[in-house]
């Protein structure tokens, strides 16, 4: 399994890249490559097109409906609805229940069908806690995590390897469960100790991400969702003080092997 980092800037697009979006790829036993896009935050639809033709996506999963995790799906919807190819079918999109109305509001229209076409380009599926579903070779499990809005983390397994993704979350039992024994734990560290202590129940710090990785005994902790105003060395140093295993800080266009 591979993870392409399309965007990893925390909370809003930054000068070096887009907000959260990750492309997950895996080949099945027949040699077909499956591609699932995990989040599509502000600014991410542009760089996605540097990595793949979006028409090759098999599904999209959205952790929660903050703009830095879903807003550019409005661009993907236009792309899919009006593409010159007429064989794309509907693209499965797994997200919190209100995504279709959010997209319509941003696109300034009534209903979920774009002007001039017959049906929604997306096949919408509603996420819930402890939900399990399959996309090609990927087994995906959701857990509701601690954030001010309905938000999910994902645990994705294919051919015996496991990727865990925090989405946006502060410390909670569900996050420990998601991360347990993961080969790669892609975990946000949007806050830093001291500076952001007045906020709770929103984001992890590098220290709290490291503590979660330590409790969950993950093989590789990859920190992400660092806002433009934070020096990445700060959360990285915090995490290293809390977790003895492998830790990296993700960058736009990184390719992470899950093995």
Closer residue to Zn ion, CB minimum distance, 220 or 225: 225
Question: Closest separation between CB of residue 40 and Zn ion, Å?
Answer: 12
Contact 224, 250 (CB under 8 A): yes
Q: Which of 4, 26, 35, 66 binds Zn ion (CB under 5 A)?
A: 66
Does position 203 interact with Zn ion (CB under 5 A)? The reply is no
Does position 238 interact with Zn ion (CB under 5 A)? The reply is no
Does position 39 interact with Zn ion (CB under 5 A)? The reply is no
Closer residue to Zn ion, CB minimum distance, 68 or 114: 68
Q: Which of 68, 72, 77, 211 binds Zn ion (CB under 5 A)?
A: 68
Helix (H) or strand (E) holding 59: strand 59-61
Q: How many helices (H) and strands (E) does the chain have?
A: 7, 14
The tokens 């036993």 sit on which residue? Answer: 29
The span of 67-75, 114-122, 158-166, 229-237 binding Zn ion (CB under 5 A) equals 67-75
Question: Closest separation between CB of residue 2 and Zn ion, Å?
Answer: 23
Does position 168 interact with Zn ion (CB under 5 A)? The reply is yes
Return the residues of window 89-108 that contact Zn ion according to CB under 5 A.
none
Does position 35 interact with Zn ion (CB under 5 A)? The reply is no
Does position 4 interact with Zn ion (CB under 5 A)? The reply is no
Q: For residue 26, which of 145, 181, 184, 169 has the smallest C-alpha distance? A: 184
Query: Contacts from 200-204 at CB under 8 Å and sequence distance 24+?
Result: 200/170, 201/146, 201/147, 201/148, 201/170, 202/147, 202/148, 202/168, 202/170, 203/10, 203/168, 203/169, 203/170, 204/166, 204/169, 204/170, 204/171
The span of 27-35, 103-111, 162-170, 227-235 binding Zn ion (CB under 5 A) equals 162-170
Closer residue to Zn ion, CB minimum distance, 62 or 156: 62
Number of other residues whose CB lies within 10 A of the CB of residue 112:
17
Q: Where along the sequence are the contacts to Zn ion (CB under 5 A)?
A: 66, 68, 168
């Amino acid at each position: 399994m591979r993870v392409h980092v399309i965007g990893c800037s925390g909370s809003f697009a930054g000068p070096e890249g887009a907000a959260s979006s990750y492309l997950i790829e895996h080949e099945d036993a027949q040699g077909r490559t499956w591609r699932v896009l995990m989040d599509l935050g502000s600014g991410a639809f542009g760089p996605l097109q540097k990595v793949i033709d979006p028409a090759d996506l098999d599904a999209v999963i959205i952790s929660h409906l903050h703009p830095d995790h879903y807003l550019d799906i409005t661009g993907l919807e236009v792309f899919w609805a009006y593409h010159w190819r007429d064989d794309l079918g509907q693209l499965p999109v797994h997200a919190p229940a209100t995504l279709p109305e959010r997209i319509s509001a941003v696109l300034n229209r009534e209903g979920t069908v774009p002007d001039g076409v017959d049906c929604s380009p997306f096949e919408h599926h509603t996420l819930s806690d402890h939900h399990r579903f399959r996309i090609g070779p990927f087994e995906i499990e959701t857990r509701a995590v601690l954030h001010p809005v309905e938000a999910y983390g994902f645990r994705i397994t294919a051919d015996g390897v496991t990727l865990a993704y925090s989405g946006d979350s502060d410390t909670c039992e569900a996050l420990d469960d998601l991360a347990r024994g993961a080969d790669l734990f892609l975990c946000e560290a949007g806050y830093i100790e001291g500076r952001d202590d007045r906020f709770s129940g929103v984001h992890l710090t590098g220290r709290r991400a490291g503590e979660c990785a330590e409790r969950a005994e993950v093989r590789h902790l990859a920190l992400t969702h660092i806002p433009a105003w934070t020096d990445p060395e700060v959360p990285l140093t915090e995490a290293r003080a809390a977790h003895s295993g492998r830790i990296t800080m993700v960058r736009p266009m990184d390719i992470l092997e899950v093995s």
